[in-house]
Structures are given as structure tokens and as C-alpha cells.
């Protein structure tokens, strides 16, 4: 297993290694951690944050849907005053059903994100996120639930910037952007990841976002800029 320099305490690391051993005993294979952004991708996400700051300032409330190991979370928390993260990790809920993306467009990559997000056996990825990100950044709140549950039960505030990088199926992205708009402040900015995915492109078109100014970044992130800010 690749050793990551998480920077947590010896006691936490020992607990993590026990979880890894348990994983190998139960599943008879090594755990794999994917989706870690290379340095150039992290650079582009910092550029994105600078653009958001130009329009909205730094003292803003940010919502991130889909955090995984938390690299984007740490970047957002470093740029802005307050970050709310929502990720279900091993919670499967409706994700075990047939992928409805097939009804919109055929593309193998549209199945990958659902598989990754529902395969967090032993809570290894969540453990990394909670101990390497949430525990180290005091301006992060974490909701361990689906985005649907969050918007139904916990979304009692408005945000200046919302970044969607969760379940990439067409229907889920439609719900995330629709619910996100209801929680977005006037002149707030919507954004997300995986601009090049067919499911995302279809959502952009069907939500009418393609009629607004859109900035696309080198890590495949994007920002939908309200015309009122231009």
C-alpha cells in the first residue's frame, strides 16, 4: 500500500493501519486510494478560488458536494472563511439502482464515480478525510450524508459559492444543481468538476447554464458566472 504523508498523530496513524489490515483480511486485497489530484490540478483549483474571490471576496460561505479524500476541501478552506462539506462515503441509498445515465448518453466514465463513491469499505476514505482535513481545519463542517438528505434536512443557510463534485449520474447532478440554486445567495457562483463528462454537459444544457458565461479550468473544473457580476 502506498504510504501517504497525512501529517496526523502516531495514534491516529496506528488506528488507520489497523483499519487497513482489517480491510485486507475481510476483502483479500489491498485498498486502493484514487482520485488524488496531481500538483498541476491543485494549481488550477487555486486559480479557480482566486476567480471566485475576485467576484465574491474571501469572507464567504462555501458548499462542497463530494469531498472524497479532501484535497479540494483543504484548498477551499484555505481560501475562504467557511466551508461545508457533504459526502455519503459508504452510504449507498439509491446508488445501488440501475444507472439512469444510460437513458441520456452512453459513456463508460459516467459509471466510474458511482462505483468509487460506494466502495468505501471499512470507511477508509472517510477516515482520511475526517482526520487529515476536518480535524485540521477549524472552518470546515462535515455532513456525512447524501446531498439529497443534506438539502432536505440540513440546508438552512445560503452560500456564496457552491461546488458540485458528487455523484455524476445525470439525475443526481440535476438534483444537486437544482437544490444548490435554492441555497445560493444573490450573485453567488455555482461551479463543479468534470466539465468534460457527457452527463455534466447534458446537465449544463438542460439547466440553461450554457446561456451564461462559463469559465473552464485546466483540472476540468468550471464556474458559472452570473451576468450581474460582469
The tens digit of pLDDT for each residue in 183-219 reads 999 999 999 999 999 889 999 999 999 999 999 999 9
Closest CA to 43 of 72, 69, 65: 72
The closest of 206, 166, 157, 209 to 184, measured between CA atoms, is: 157
pLDDT at 213: 94
Torsions phi, psi of 114, nearest 5? -65, -40
- Confidence class of residue 19 from pLDDT cuts 50, 70 and 90? confident
Helices (H), the chain: 10-27, 39-56, 71-79, 112-117, 124-129, 147-153, 170-182, 198-206
3-class secondary-structure state, position 215: strand
Which domains, ranges and CATH numbers included, belong to the chain?
A: 10-229 (3.40.50.150)
Full-model pTM: 0.86
> 224, 214 in Cβ contact below 8 A?
yes
C-alpha distances in Å from residue 194, one per residue of 165, 173, 183, 203, 219: 8, 11, 22, 12, 8
Give me the pLDDT at residue 110, please: 55
218 beta partners: none
Over residues 103-124, the pLDDT tens digits come to 444 444 555 566 666 667 678 8
The per-residue pLDDT for 198 is 87
Amino acid at each position: 500500500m502506498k504510504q501517504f504523508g497525512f501529517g496526523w498523530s502516531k495514534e491516529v496513524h496506528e488506528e488507520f493501519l489497523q483499519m487497513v489490515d482489517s480491510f485486507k483480511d475481510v476483502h483479500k486485497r489491498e485498498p486502493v486510494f484514487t482520485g488524488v489530484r496531481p500538483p498541476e490540478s491543485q494549481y488550477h483549483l487555486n486559480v479557480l478560488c482566486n476567480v471566485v474571490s475576485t467576484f465574491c471576496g474571501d469572507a464567504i460561505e462555501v458548499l462542497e458536494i463530494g469531498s472524497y479524500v479532501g484535497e479540494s476541501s483543504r484548498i477551499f478552506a484555505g481560501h475562504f472563511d467557511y466551508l461545508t462539506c457533504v459526502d455519503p462515503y459508504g452510504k449507498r441509498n439509491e446508488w445501488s439502482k440501475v444507472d439512469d445515465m444510460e437513458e441520456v448518453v452512453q459513456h463508460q466514465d459516467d459509471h466510474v464515480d458511482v462505483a468509487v463513491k460506494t466502495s468505501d469499505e471499512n470507511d477508509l476514505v472517510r477516515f482520511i478525510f475526517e482526520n487529515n482535513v476536518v480535524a485540521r481545519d477549524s472552518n470546515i463542517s462535515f455532513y456525512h450524508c447524501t446531498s439529497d438528505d443534506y438539502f432536505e434536512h440540513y440546508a438552512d443557510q445560503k452560500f456564496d459559492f457552491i461546488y458540485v463534485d458528487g455523484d455524476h449520474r445525470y439525475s443526481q447532478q440535476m438534483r444537486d444543481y437544482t437544490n444548490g440554486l435554492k441555497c445560493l445567495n444573490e450573485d453567488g457562483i455555482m461551479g463543479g468538476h468534470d466539465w468534460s463528462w457527457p452527463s455534466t454537459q447534458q446537465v449544463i444544457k438542460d439547466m440553461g447554464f450554457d446561456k451564461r458565461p462559463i469559465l473552464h479550468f485546466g483540472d476540468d473544473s468550471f464556474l458559472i458566472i452570473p451576468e450581474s457580476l460582469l
